Chains A and B, each alone.
Chain A
Amino acid sequence: MCVRVTNMKGVDLNTFVFDWDLTFAVLLMNADGTVYHRYGGRDHESADGRLSMEALTRLVREGLETDREYRKAPKAREGVQKQAIEEIPVFAERLKKNPNVECFHCHMATEARREQAQKDGRWTPDDRWLWPLPDKAGLRLDPQEPTRVTEVAKDSPAAKAGLQKDDRLVSVNGTRVRTEPDVQWFLHDTPPAGGSLEVAFIRGTGKRTVTLALASGWKAATPLEYSWRPAMWLLRPDPGFGGDDLDAAEKQKLGLRADAFAVRVNYLIDWGDRAETGRNARKAGVRKGDILLSAGGVSDFHDHKHFQTWFRFTREPGKDVELKLWRDGKEILVSLPVLP
């Protein structure tokens, strides 16, 4: 039975659990709410580099085997309470003010839950780490055949556990895995402070099980790795301004390399609870139309999202950040105080 969902309105967030920052995700599941397998996933390099029709085909075919196995001994899901996005208090409050919002995007679920947790005092900066890729444990999986290990990073947790190239993952903590997001599910559930996962795999003709030990801090992503996530925009500190990357022709006019970082400032925040950050940027000397060339001495940002994430991850409130801007045919320097 196939369902295509393009609006998260009414969708139970405690049942349909996946990386809501994604624009494409697949769940293969039982009608009782038990998710057999997940598919989808991306990284900062591209939206679809980790996807393949071959892998999805394989999942659909092999996933039916999981369904047959599950039906032999279904497990009741107890104590799972339904919560749709519109039932999260901070989101419900926003809907009251703006009831005309028709489409609830997937990423809004991540944001609403985070906002609610922040409001309730339950959120810590470590909670920002979402759905870590197996790369965080030192594992690269084959996009075509996602249970096959294609690379094990030297000295990584996976290497220390003894995993090797061409091993084929079978299960994590006793649950069958068939896709990269299946593995991510267990990583997502492992705290940033560390933990361990029992990983079963096939090498040659033999099945083995090892313990994958994840040390404190394992979950942290770099600004670049995190930069594609819509969830990034909610983090603070916020520079208070932003804009779009210049295209190659625009950079050429300025005498910049085609791969140079250059962002045209097209807004200073003057709305909502961040208006102060926009006023702060204006007071410091940032103007709409300026071209941002570097920040804090860093000019090798991949794009404006990378800059925005870097600012949020690495800048300390109370300190200044030097911005290099291009305005009226010359470079100027602006010292921007970082607000909390």
Chain B
Amino acid sequence: MKRALAALLLGALGAGAEEPDFLWRADLDAAREEARTAGKPLLVVFRCER
């Protein structure tokens, strides 16, 4: 899922587009703070294994 989404996002945005950071975070609060500071949107994937 992680790789598929990273590849997907790269393909989706294309050259010259505002690229998000492709390093997937696991700490939601820290990422939110970082996104706030950087002025970037957040893409949050919830994946529940059960």
Contact = CB atoms under 8 A, between A and B. Distances in A.
B15 interface: no
A31 to B, nearest CB: 4
A328 interface: no
Interface bin, chain B: 35 or more
A18 B48 CA distance: 13
Contacts of B8: 53, 56-57, 60
Interface stretch (A20-28, A142-150, A158-166): A20-28
A28 to B, nearest CB: 6
Interface of B (DSSP majority class): mixed
Interface string B10-27: 011110011011111111
Contacts of B42: 1-3, 27-31
Given A2-B21, A64-B17, A30 B48 contact: no
Given A2-B22, A10-B29, A23 B47 contact: yes
B46 A1 contact: no
A73 to B, nearest CB: 15
Contacts of A5: 26, 28, 44-47
Nearest to A29: B42
A1 B9 contact: no
A63 B12 CA distance: 11
A107 B48 contact: yes
Contact of B50 (A2, A10, A105): A105
A36 interface: yes
Contacts of B31: 1-3
A24 to B, nearest CB: 6
A60 B48 contact: no
A32 interface: yes
Nearest to A36: B41
Contacts of A56: 5, 8, 12
A1 B11 contact: no
Interface of A: 1-6, 8, 10-11, 16, 18, 22-32, 36, 40, 53, 56-58, 60-61, 63-64, 67, 71, 105-107
The 8 A-B residue pairs with the shortest CB-CB distance, nearest first, are A31-B36, A31-B35, A57-B12, A1-B35, A67-B41, A3-B31, A60-B12, A3-B25
Interface of B: 1-2, 4-6, 8-9, 11-14, 17-18, 20-29, 31-36, 38-50
30 contacts: A1-B21, A1-B38, A2-B43, A2-B45, A3-B24, A3-B45, A4-B24, A4-B45, A5-B45, A6-B46, A11-B28, A16-B46, A23-B50, A24-B48, A26-B43, A26-B46, A27-B42, A28-B42, A30-B41, A31-B36, A53-B4, A53-B8, A60-B9, A60-B43, A61-B13, A64-B13, A64-B18, A67-B41, A105-B50, A107-B48
